[in-house]
Structure 1
Amino acid sequence: MKIAVFGRTELRCSICVLLLVPAAAVLGKLPALMLALVSLAVHELSHAFMAARLGLIVSSIEVQPFGFIAELHTPPRTPSECLSVAAAGPFASLLIALCGAGLGKYIGHTSAAFQDFCSFNLSLGLMNLLPFLPLDGGRLALALIEKRTGRARAQRTLSLFGIIFGVLLFCAGVMLVSATDAAFNPTPLAAGFFIFISALSEFRCSCGSNIKASLAELSRLRSGSAVRVVPIALRSDCTVRKALSFIGGRGYGIIFVVEAGATVGILDENIVLNAALRGENDAELSTLLPEHSASSAPNLPVFKR
């Protein structure tokens, strides 16, 4: 449900949140819910602020039962931008916890609500540094390893870790609830369920992540924006399917097609992407080259073995 529009960013609120507020009030948990929502708002708005500072368009910020979700219209263009946007949230949460601890030590006495607020931000910041998708630590790890493994493979691996972590956290919550001498704490249950569902969604989307990233690069290029060029050398018998795992998300790919130690042609990722859209995923790169590509480009670099 749309609440307001700030510039090009929509502020949305899930219907579930509206139902959660009266339920928390009945259970006497409304103050705790408000503190959690404020902490999550600062965390997520830090991501949005950093993205806006980098020139990225934040299309919407939605209030969900387990936090705020910022959706970027334009994804980060470089690994450094990915790192900056992903690190902004945990940094803000840990900064709040650190400042709160310092203030509490200076004053000497703080309320229980203030201590809970600082503890929640500390837990939020530390948990989001875990290298599992969809957590911010997973985004940091994705930006660091996608160059070596390809974005799709890295996203699958990190989201699989996220699924396992979500299941373990949910099971820990069930064990806490079943303990007769423990007070009811729904946080592990809710967090585990949210992480599991989000990680499962990331895993399902990983197969098309490189294609989505390539389409985003093409969109920026067609709109007149400058994009980063990423050169890559692949063998002529490399398939379109395998080539797609090496491009996308890091810039506009220029592929040097190599055969017998020499470059026989050059392709860009637009040609490879169009071949995939035509269903030619098992076609070799050599079949995508123009007939006289080698003769029309006599000064192509030679790659020695």
Structure 2
Amino acid sequence: MIKWKGTVWTVHPLFVLIMLASVATGYFTELLTLFALVFVHELGHVAVAKGFGWTVREVKLLPFGGVAEVEDGSGVPAKEEALVAIAGPLQNVWMAAAAWGLGQTGLWSEEWSQYVISANAIIALFNLLPILPLDGGKLMNALLSRTTTFHRTLRIGARVSLALSGAMVVFAIMPWLHGGQSGIQPNLLIVGLFLLMTNWTYNRHIPFLFLRFLTSRGLTASRHLTRGAWALPIIVSKAHTIAAALRLFKRDSYHLIVVMEESGQILAVLPEQRLVNGYLEDGKPDRAVLELFM
């Protein structure tokens, strides 16, 4: 564990196991290079995140990238999350280009240059898969949150990630299932199982993640009020529960809750802070929205 500029850097046990295996098989130089590529990949994420003022508490390095623990959580804009996510694969692009240049000038052998180019390509493309917590999964969530509610974004992201990580596990054992001579693909199986378990936990924690999103709405509201912004109305009936109304919130929007009769008569209009605070203070999500006025 190393702490550098306020961020704790750790190596995930999965990476340690692969490193020990590489020593036994004589591929330590290749793995050390992979470690360096992954480290620079994560530096790209951290540099852009801190450029936006995020607090990055910890980065865990994995064989295919890393997992960053960010203090700001769901309170950051989707655009910032997308830029932070894409910053990692962009590091692999310039490193692959540099490896090609070193190979062309003869400073590196053609074989080693091709290895580094291939390793960067694999890391970048794998991380762009739409599976959480990979960069592609974060890009997927950022895009979804621009088009649908945040609660639905969490659910769709979890389901897609579970399906694709499960498919990765099946693909890894497919040769064995068909009785092929190549057998199981151990590296792909280990990574697939890791992603499957991670997303299984993520799916179970959706209520907590949504609650964290709600607790950050005060910061979001202040940001909108400071610079001025359009308010996106949410129209609900007087029988709507607070929980149902909260699930209609979008990530980068400020909301006004309009309680309306079926006839079209407006009974009340309240800012989103009133709804969020009403829920957080008494923790009764099944209360009707209209009760907040009584």
Deviates most, 87-96 or 168-177? 168-177
- Asked if structure 1 preserves the Cα contact closer than 8 Å seen for 2:127 and 2:135, the reply is yes
- Structure 2: distance between partners of 1:101 and 1:239: 59
Secondary structure in 1 aligned to 2:257? Answer: strand
Matched, 1:234 2:235: yes
Deviations 1:33-71 (A, max 9, x none): 222222221222211111001111111122346543221
- Asked if structure 1 preserves the Cα contact closer than 8 Å seen for 2:279 and 2:285, the reply is yes
One-letter code aligned to 2:125:
L
- Structure 2: distance between partners of 1:248 and 1:208: 17
Secondary structure in 2 aligned to 1:228? Answer: helix
Residue in 1 aligned with 2:2? 4
One-letter code aligned to 2:71:
H
Residue in 2 aligned with 1:187? 187
Secondary structure in 2 aligned to 1:37? Answer: helix
- Asked if structure 1 preserves the Cα contact closer than 8 Å seen for 2:14 and 2:63, the reply is yes
Correspondence 1:73-92 to 2 at 5 A = 73-75=71-73, 77-92=76-91
How many angstroms does 1:286 deviate by?
Answer: 1.1
- Structure 2: distance between partners of 1:38 and 1:250: 36
Q: 2:290 aligns with which of 282, 286, 290?
A: 286
Unpaired runs of at least 5, structure 2: 226-230
Residue in 1 aligned with 2:134? 135
Q: 1:185 to 1:38 in 2, by over 3 A?
A: farther
- Asked if structure 2 preserves the Cα contact closer than 8 Å seen for 1:36 and 1:120, the reply is yes
Deviates most, 7-16 or 135-144? 7-16
- Structure 1: distance between partners of 2:82 and 2:13: 32
Q: TM-score, normalised by structure 2?
A: 0.81
Matched, 1:247 2:246: no
Residue in 2 aligned with 1:302? none
| Count of paired positions | 283
Q: TM-score, normalised by structure 1?
A: 0.79
Unpaired runs of at least 5, structure 1: 292-305
Residue in 1 aligned with 2:228? none
- Structure 2: distance between partners of 1:185 and 1:106: 36
Deviations 1:134-174 (A, max 9, x none): 22122112112214321221222122122221122222222
Q: 1:125 to 1:67 in 2, by over 3 A?
A: closer
- Asked if structure 2 preserves the Cα contact closer than 8 Å seen for 1:151 and 1:249, the reply is yes
- Asked if structure 2 preserves the Cα contact closer than 8 Å seen for 1:104 and 1:110, the reply is yes
Secondary structure in 2 aligned to 1:161? Answer: helix
Percent sequence identity is 23
Secondary structure in 1 aligned to 2:233? Answer: strand
Deviations 1:13-51 (A, max 9, x none): 445544543332112232232222222212222111110
- Structure 1: distance between partners of 2:129 and 2:65: 17
- Structure 2: distance between partners of 1:208 and 1:193: 23
- Asked if structure 1 preserves the Cα contact closer than 8 Å seen for 2:131 and 2:161, the reply is yes
Deviations 1:2-21 (A, max 9, x none): x2322322223445544543
Q: 1:20 to 1:147 in 2, by over 3 A?
A: closer
- Structure 2: distance between partners of 1:67 and 1:280: 41
- Asked if structure 1 preserves the Cα contact closer than 8 Å seen for 2:214 and 2:276, the reply is no
- Structure 1: distance between partners of 2:65 and 2:86: 17
- Asked if structure 2 preserves the Cα contact closer than 8 Å seen for 1:173 and 1:186, the reply is yes
Give the superposed CA RMSD.
Answer: 3.0
Matched, 1:199 2:199: yes
How many angstroms does 1:111 deviate by?
Answer: 4.7
One-letter code aligned to 2:155:
R
How many angstroms does 1:84 deviate by?
Answer: 0.9
- Structure 1: distance between partners of 2:175 and 2:99: 28
Q: Which has the larger share of helix? A: 2
